[in-house]
Amino acid sequence: MSTNDNRPKPTPARIAKAKAVVAEQFEAGELTAKIAAQNDAFRQMGPLSSNAGRWVVTRSVHDLGPDFVALCLEAVGSFTAFTEDCDPYGAHEMGGFEVQGRKVWWKIDLYDADYAFGSPDPANPEVTRRVLTVLFPEDY
């Protein structure tokens, strides 16, 4: 077995830096999981039962009528098919399904309490408002 003498030697500074990187990645994962849980709870409560955000449907979804919209809202609330394609960051902020043969997407955006800018702390529900939009892919 050969050793590589060109490898950087572990020093206290390098070890501390490596620990900081691992801690940052771990914290980011915890924050993402917290945001995902909040997004799931918001979706599952439905559009009429939450003051932590708003639900919106695009005009093209709306134009297919109240029955179609109701089916979409029900599908959003029960959605669990998160994949790498629709949820690459694990925050459960986007998904898609079919309703009456039409591909439908939903997307959650996180705003500040005034809905003016992005949330200053997306994992903190006290300062974050969610906007869930139901749309067709061509609306995006």
What is the reported pTM?
Answer: 0.79
Burial 75-114 (b: 16+ CB within 10 A, else e): bbbebeebeeebbeeebbbbbbbebeeeebbbbbbbbeee
Q: Per the domain annotation, does 96 fall within a domain?
A: yes
Q: Is the pLDDT reported for residue 47 higher than 60? A: yes
Q: Per the domain annotation, does 70 fall within a domain?
A: yes
Cα 76 to Cα 135: distance, rounded to the nearest angstrom: 11
pLDDT for res 38: 95
Please give the single-letter amino acid code of residue 97: F
- Note down the domain range covering 104: 12-139
Residue 24 tokens, joined = 């940052």
Sign, Cα dihedral of 44, 36, 88, 113: positive
Domain count, the chain: 1
* pLDDT, average across residues 84-110: 95
